[in-house]
Amino acid sequence: MTANVAFPLFCLTAIFIKDLKSSPTCMNDGTSFVCRSIKTRQDFPSSVPLYIQRVTLDGRNFPDNVFPNGLFADASWRNLTELVIVDFEDINDLNKTFLEGLDGLKYFSVLSCSMINYIDSAVFQNTPKLEALHLYMIWWMYLYDVEEALTGTPNCLKYLSLIGLHMRRLPIVLGKSFSNALSGRNLTYLDLSQANIIQFEYDVYRKVLFNLRYLNISNTKIPLFKGLSTDENDLPEWDVFVASRCPTMVETKQLWEPKYFVLSKVKYIFLSTMFEFKLQPDIILNLSRLNALTAINVIDLSNNNLVYINITLLGAYNFQELQKLDISGNYMEYINPSLLRHFPSMKVFNMTENKLFRMQTTEAFRDLLSWNKELRVLYLRNNNLTTIPKTFLTSNTKLQLLDLRDNNLNDFNIDLSNMWNLRYVDLSNNRLHNLPSSSIFTLEVISRYQQSKTESNENYVDHFSSLYFLDKTAVADKYGYGQSFNTNSQLSKNEEVMYRHLTIGLSGNPLQCDCESLYFLEWIISTNIAISQIESLRCTYASDQYPLNRKTLDKVYFDCVIVKDVVTSTSFAFVCISAFSILVFYMKRQKRKREKIQMLREQIQKGKNQFKFIVFLPFCSQDDDIVRTHIHLSLNNLLKQKLNINIERDLVCCGADYFTPGERIMTEIHRCISESLVVVPVITSSFLKSPWCTTECMVALQEHMNIVVLMQEPIDISGANVVITKLLENYTRGSWAIKEGVFEIRPQWNIIIQSIIDKSMEFVYNDREATDAYTDYPIVAEDENAV
């Protein structure tokens, strides 16, 4: 039997639940009969066409507690391969004659016949070809009754489902008698989910479970195989192991005890909804000891209370065969990128409904998927993310589906370049007002590439439309286990067509219809990219909601043009007014400056009070030749030239030249400084040692004079007194030096002269107004002996 047709019995469960209240007439769809609401013996079909292979009998309103004899006596029943009886709520046993006449029956299912508490083992003697037996939600009286019924099944039985197995009085322990009942059968599929089983004995494990390909113990109370084999070679080779909603994980506190590990060869493992299940460090030690699970295809740890997974659990092993990792529905706040390094071939990663917003701004989040270059499908739904780093997906160029629904994203700046296989980006239910133009451009480039690829190659295969998400459906399809799994994630035919090319989901976002979003709105309406549920998209304009269509766009565009014209006109007028105001201000300022220079020139020509000299030039007598030759003469000539003053007297005062003989030195220093506008001390090594030079600087500071310092370079100022130190600390200075007989000064003379004139003009209107505040200098004695 091929995997695609194995156990199609379970596919019938969708047929009989559509309409249980209709007439008892049997409906024929060509290959099957569905007989609903059977009330009497006469409502059973006496015969069926030879081409009928499947029959479903619905007896919700059947009043008897036993089935009539000879139901399938007619020869037409011999070709029947599948039989489902459902909702015969008053039937309490199946006698040995019930299945007489069904020699070709391969699949037999009893669903929701809760009063059945006994099945005669001889009933299966009439079905020598039976391969699948499905007994759903039957409340047996004793476990012995179940075991006795199973002893009559033929050896060709491969698929056994005892979903909802319950005893009316006791919890169930499956032991030696259960294994004996199934002895000789080559079972590959066993479903014990929702059963009140509390324990497997080793005999059951070794004789029944060992050769299975599929085992489902979800919603049971089984402690995970305590006391089983510790031999690494004595492990089952299950392909699928389902233990979802198994509360015993809480009781055992850890998934696998090191000496009781039995899952090393499983390919698909589903451990979702384990309540308070947490991975323990010793689990990893066991994995590394056995090199376990390195061939696993799927790990499902969804809907637990996981907060963190320690990467030491994985040891040094890489899970080369792992295709899907599901940690959705947990409380994960941090995932170490090194953890995902162990899954280099992972194609599907589901992180839905966690708390990853706590790590969204870290480098670890930016590099989270850097090792997973084969990733195809990424679910990041409902993580309260507000932003995602631009380089988050740069390593995942094979990505095909990106699910970012139900977050709080207010921007979408992820770099999607080189993702030529991207098929679906779901941004629904975020806080996006629009998409940036850079993202729109990238999406358009990808879309046009995909279209050209399809058009240029008639044999182009759309891998996304045929991509299995490696979920429970894919497992079921691959191993032929029917509809035991949910199919919510399987692609429908419509979805396959929709996702043949790039599709974007934007519903549920507060899109804005404003002037800033015009490019985005125009793109949505005109793009060839499929916009999911575009007819339901609405945007906010002037506090109202409007459908996102051409009419709305035209209205926004019209209003924006008017606003733009008004803004442009207003801006132009503002610019003109501003330019005119600046021009007027500049002209007035220049005029004011010319007036001040003219007044300064007039005051200097009169030479009264502080306008007698422009500069007072303190220097040491040992530097007399250098200062008079290179500094005094240049200052005097350049000031006259700059101010256009043609007078005979000097504008630069050298104290010794203008001191009055017979007067006190301190008095003359005060007088010369008071008759000058700016003090320009020429500081040299000799200047630092001269007490009189220090005194002149002290008086200038005390009088709050404007000061422009000229200092010889290089010079050692480490021995300077406090007055000179404060002078150098508080005033910028020019520097001069004589190199190879040439006098050099920085900055140039024109800059220094302009600075002196600017400071001199302050006295035109502000008579001796202070420009700096110095109050911490010592009082200078009038007696020169006090220096």
Residue 453 has pLDDT above 90, yes or no: no
Q: Which pair of tokens denotes residue 309? A: 């997974």
pLDDT at 111: 83
Lowest model confidence (mean pLDDT) among 285-299, 380-394, 481-495, 753-767 = 481-495
Residue 225 has pLDDT above 60, yes or no: no
Mean pLDDT within 626-637: 89
Residue 778 has pLDDT above 90, yes or no: no
C-alpha span between 611 and 672 (Å, rounded):
11
Residue 293 has pLDDT above 60, yes or no: no
Mean pLDDT within 245-251: 48
Lowest model confidence (mean pLDDT) among 260-264, 503-507, 756-760 = 260-264
Mean pLDDT within 529-539: 90
Residue 394 has pLDDT above 90, yes or no: yes
- Residue from 119, 19, 113, 7 nearest 54 by CA: 7
C-alpha span between 560 and 787 (Å, rounded):
79
Residue-averaged pLDDT of the chain: 76
- pLDDT digit string (tens) for 342-372? 888 999 999 999 999 999 999 999 999 999 9
Other residues' Cβ atoms within 10 Å of the Cβ of residue 607 = 13
The more confidently predicted of residues 94 and 398 is 398
- pLDDT digit string (tens) for 110-162? 887 767 777 887 888 888 889 999 888 777 777 778 888 888 888 889 899 88
pLDDT at 231: 52
**Bond from prior residue into 714 cis (ω within 30 degrees of 0):** yes
CA 694, distance to chain mean position in Å, is 69
In which band, very low, low, confident or very high, does the pLDDT at 179 lie, cut at 50, 70 and 90? confident
Residue 234 has pLDDT above 60, yes or no: no
pLDDT at 150: 85
Q: Which pair of tokens denotes residue 739? A: 């190199």
In which band, very low, low, confident or very high, does the pLDDT at 610 lie, cut at 50, 70 and 90? confident
C-alpha span between 94 and 65 (Å, rounded):
10
Mean pLDDT within 695-705: 88
Lowest model confidence (mean pLDDT) among 173-177, 510-514, 633-637 = 173-177
Mean pLDDT within 689-713: 88
Mean pLDDT within 658-672: 87
CB-based contact 503:423 (threshold 8 Å): yes
Residue 205 has pLDDT above 50, yes or no: yes
pLDDT at 256: 37
Residue 202 has pLDDT above 70, yes or no: no
CB-based contact 289:258 (threshold 8 Å): yes
- Residue from 299, 262, 265 nearest 279 by CA: 299
Write down the residue that tokens 């014990």 correspond to.
192
Mean pLDDT within 485-502: 48
C-alpha dist (Å) from residue 81 to 96, 105, 432: 19, 4, 56
Secondary structure of residue 757 in the 3-state scheme? helix
pLDDT at 311: 63
Q: Where in the chain is the domain with CATH 3.40.50.10140?
A: 603-786
- pLDDT digit string (tens) for 536-545? 899 988 888 8
Q: DSSP string spanning 632-684?
A: IHHHHHHHHHHHT---SS-SEE-HHHHPPTTS-HHHHHHHHHHTEEEE--EE-
In which band, very low, low, confident or very high, does the pLDDT at 303 lie, cut at 50, 70 and 90? confident
pLDDT at 270: 58
pLDDT at 410: 92
CB-based contact 265:236 (threshold 8 Å): yes
Residue 770 has pLDDT above 80, yes or no: no
Q: Which residues of 481-520 are buried (b: 16+ CB within 10 A; e: fewer)?
A: bbbbbeeebbbeeeeeebbbbbbbbbbbbebbbbeebeeb
Q: Which pair of tokens denotes residue 212? A: 């299975």
pLDDT at 412: 93
Q: How many Cα atoms occupy the beta-carbon half-sphere of 303 within 13 Å?
A: 10
Q: Does domain 1-170 have CATH number 3.80.10.10?
A: yes
pLDDT at 280: 38
Residue 771 has pLDDT above 50, yes or no: no
Element (H, E) at 272: none
Q: Which long-range contacts (CB under 8 A, 24 or more apart) does 640-643 make?
A: 642/753, 642/754, 642/757, 643/597, 643/600, 643/601, 643/604, 643/757
The answer to whether the pTM exceeds 0.75 is no
743: Cβ contacts below 8 Å, ≥ 6 apart: 630, 736, 737
C-alpha dist (Å) from residue 134 to 44, 461, 474: 22, 39, 21
Residue 719 has pLDDT above 50, yes or no: yes
In which band, very low, low, confident or very high, does the pLDDT at 313 lie, cut at 50, 70 and 90? low
- pLDDT digit string (tens) for 507-519? 999 999 888 888 8
Burial of 261 (0-12, 13-18, 19+ CB in 10 A): buried
Angle ∠(320,322,328) on CA atoms, nearest 5: 145
The more confidently predicted of residues 634 and 785 is 634
Q: Which pair of tokens denotes residue 752? A: 């220094």
CB-based contact 214:236 (threshold 8 Å): no
Q: Is 7 left (phi over 0), alpha (psi -120 to 50) or beta?
A: left
- pLDDT digit string (tens) for 9-31? 333 333 333 333 334 567 776 67
Q: Where in the chain is the domain with CATH 3.80.10.10?
A: 1-170
pLDDT at 393: 94
Residue 228 has pLDDT above 50, yes or no: no
In which band, very low, low, confident or very high, does the pLDDT at 566 lie, cut at 50, 70 and 90? low
C-alpha dist (Å) from residue 299 to 241, 327, 403, 430: 10, 9, 20, 29
pLDDT at 163: 85
Lowest model confidence (mean pLDDT) among 202-206, 253-257, 430-434, 470-474 = 253-257
**How far does the chain reach from its first CA to its final CA, in angstroms?**
119
In which band, very low, low, confident or very high, does the pLDDT at 2 lie, cut at 50, 70 and 90? very low
pLDDT at 236: 64
In which band, very low, low, confident or very high, does the pLDDT at 469 lie, cut at 50, 70 and 90? very low
The more confidently predicted of residues 714 and 89 is 714
- pLDDT digit string (tens) for 369-385? 999 999 999 999 999 99
Please give the DSSP secondary-structure letter assigned to residue 209. I
pLDDT at 350: 94
Residue 483 has pLDDT above 70, yes or no: no
Helix axes 550-606, 749-760, angle to 10 degrees: 80
Q: Of all residues in the chain, what percent carry a pLDDT higher than 70? A: 76
Residue 489 has pLDDT above 60, yes or no: no
pLDDT at 285: 28
Q: What is the CATH number of domain 603-786?
A: 3.40.50.10140
Max mean pLDDT among 375-384, 552-561, 644-653 falls in 375-384
Q: DSSP string spanning 333-389?
A: ----HHHHTT-TT--EEE--SS-GGGGTTSHHHHTTTTT-TT--EEE--SS--S---
